[in-house]
Amino acid sequence: MSERTSPKILHVSQSDRMGGANRATYRLHRALCEAGSDSKLWTPYKSQDDPTVIPALRSPMAKLGAQIVDFANSRIPRFYPDGNRGNFSPVRLAYGRLSPAVLAEPDIVVLHWVAGGFLKPSRLVSLGRPLIWQLWDLWPFTGGCHYPGECANYEHACGPCPALGSRSAFDLARADFASRRRGYRDLDLTIVAPSRWIADKARRSALFGHRRIEHIASGVDLGVFRPYDKMLARDILGLPKDKKIVLFGAFSALSDRRKGYQLIPAVLEKLAQPPGAEIVLAVFGGSRHPPASEDAKWGLPALHLGRFEDDVAIALIYAAADVLIAPYLEDNLPFVILEALACGTPVVAFAAGGIPDAIDHQKNGYLAPVGAAGELARGIAWVLADPQRHKALCAAARATAEARFDIRECACRYLDLCAELTATGRPAS
- Indicate the DSSP class of residue 88: B
| pLDDT reported for residue 417 | 95
> What residue type is 219 in one-letter code?
G
Q: Closest by alpha carbon to 325, among 394, 259, 227?
A: 259
Q: Closest by alpha carbon to 290, among 320, 316, 258, 252?
A: 252
* Strand, coil or helix: 214: strand
Angle at 121 between CA 120 and CA 122, to 5 degrees: 90
DSSP annotation string for 374-386? HHHHHHHHHHHH-
Contact 209, 142 (CB under 8 A): no
* Strand, coil or helix: 129: coil
Q: How many CB atoms lie within 10 A of CB 344?
A: 23
Mean pLDDT for the stretch of residues 151-163: 95
Mean pLDDT for the stretch of residues 379-385: 94
For all residues of the chain together, what is the average pLDDT? 89
Q: In whole angstroms, give the CA distance from residue 235 to residue 247.
A: 16
Residues 64-76: pLDDT tens digits?
888 888 888 888 9
Which band of pLDDT confidence, cut at 50, 70 and 90, is reported for residue 98? confident
Q: What residues contact 251, with CB distance under 8 A and at least 6 apart?
A: 19, 20, 285
Q: How many CB atoms lie within 10 A of CB 289?
A: 9
Say how many CA atoms lie within 13 Å of 17 toward its Cβ: 12
Contact 81, 54 (CB under 8 A): no
- Chain centroid to CA 134: how far? 11
Contact 120, 183 (CB under 8 A): yes
Q: How many CB atoms lie within 10 A of CB 182?
A: 11
Which band of pLDDT confidence, cut at 50, 70 and 90, is reported for residue 253? low
Contact 220, 401 (CB under 8 A): yes
Angle at 42 between CA 37 and CA 48, to 5 degrees: 90
Which band of pLDDT confidence, cut at 50, 70 and 90, is reported for residue 271? confident
* Strand, coil or helix: 169: coil
Q: In whole angstroms, give the CA distance from residue 181 to residue 143.
A: 10
**Range of weakest confidence among 78-92, 200-214, 261-275:** 261-275
Contact 353, 332 (CB under 8 A): yes
The CA dihedral of 70, 253, 158, 138, to the nearest 10 degrees, is: 90
| pLDDT reported for residue 1 | 43
* Strand, coil or helix: 225: coil
3-state helix, strand, coil in the chain (%, to 5): 40, 15, 45
Q: Which residue ranges form the domains of the chain, and what is each CATH number?
A: 8-219+407-422 (3.40.50.2000), 230-404 (3.40.50.2000)
- Indicate the DSSP class of residue 404: H
Q: In whole angstroms, give the CA distance from residue 330 to residue 339.
A: 18
| pLDDT reported for residue 289 | 60
Strands 347-350 and 323-326: parallel
Q: Closest by alpha carbon to 162, among 258, 72, 262, 88?
A: 88
Which band of pLDDT confidence, cut at 50, 70 and 90, is reported for residue 382? very high
Q: In whole angstroms, give the CA distance from residue 209 to residue 213.
A: 8
* Strand, coil or helix: 122: helix
Q: In whole angstroms, give the CA distance from residue 58 to residue 77.
A: 29
Q: Closest by alpha carbon to 249, among 169, 162, 313?
A: 313
At residue 428, does pLDDT exceed 60? no
Which band of pLDDT confidence, cut at 50, 70 and 90, is reported for residue 371? very high
Strands, sheet with 212-215, edge to edge from the N-terminal-most edge strand: 53-55, 38-43, 8-12, 108-111, 131-134, 189-193, 212-215
At residue 31, does pLDDT exceed 80? yes
Burial status of residue 231 (CB atoms within 10 A of its CB: 0-12, 13-18, 19 or more): exposed
* Strand, coil or helix: 337: helix
Residues 102-150: pLDDT tens digits?
888 899 999 998 886 778 888 888 888 999 999 999 999 999 999 999 9
